[in-house]
Amino acid sequence: MTLKFRFVCATRASAQQFPERTALGRSLAPFLQGPGVELKLFADNRRGLPSLYNEAIREAASDPAILIFIHDDIHLCDFFWPVHMAMGLRALDVLGLAGNVRRVPRQPSWVFIDESWTRDAPENLSGIVAHGKGFPPEIVNAYGPTMRQVKLLDGLFLAVRSETLLAQRIEFDERFDFHFYDMDFCRQAEAAQLRLGTWPISVIHESGGNFDSPGWRAGYARYLEKWRS
């Protein structure tokens, strides 16, 4: 059976600007010329990511695919990502690039364990993500061994079969907009006994995150209210 990969991405750029002005648009363009690779683009976006991602999940009920929820500031550097992703989804249900094998109470991020921004011990972290504005990257963050099952994944890149989400009735919680939607999604997946893990797929992320902003604080409060820890 031929696999269908559908990238789901929100961007503030217009549909015309996306292929030239965004990292993902530029790096994904060659793959969109071939079969089996699609793009579900939300251009000129001002909505929260969960509502957009849920729209893509519901549409996939009549057109199944491997859904890749991805940020627009990702340079996709791995020419073999379809092979690597297919391999990963044979071993795991939800695929990411970086994560944590454990979860602790009141954890504010997959990489930090408290509100003082204490980074978790290397043995608990997994994955590799480069950062910078292009190739070569400014830094390659090797968090820990990849191809590990984890409890939390970074939301910059999440891949999962649409059939898996629909069968388990898992959607992104729309009370979150940009912050904590990924932490919440991972906890839903864990509760459904899905296997989450990291896989080696080479990317460069232009953004380093936006911790401790007012929006982040509001999301953290909603996350703790929902999960109580």
CATH code (residue 108): 3.90.550.10
The amino acid at 125: L
pLDDT for the residue numbered 102 = 97
Q: Which residues pair with 197 in a beta bridge?
A: 95, 149
Both tokens of 104, joined, read: 């602790």
Note the pTM of the prediction, 2 decimals: 0.96
| Count of domains observed in the chain | 1
User: Environment class of residue 191 by beta-carbon count within 10 Å: exposed (0-12), middle (13-18) or buried (19+)?
Assistant: exposed
Token couple for 56: 């893509």
The arithmetic mean of pLDDT across residues 37-52, rounded, is: 96
Structural domain including 102 reads 5-227
Query: Looking at the predicted structure, is the pLDDT value of residue 209 above 80?
Result: no
19-43: per-residue pLDDT in tens? Answer: 999 999 999 999 998 889 999 999 9
Q: What is the pLDDT of residue 90?
A: 96
Helices H, strands E: what count in the chain?
7, 13
Q: Which amino acid is at 87?
A: M
Q: What is the pLDDT of residue 191?
A: 96
Q: Three-state DSSP class for 38?
A: strand
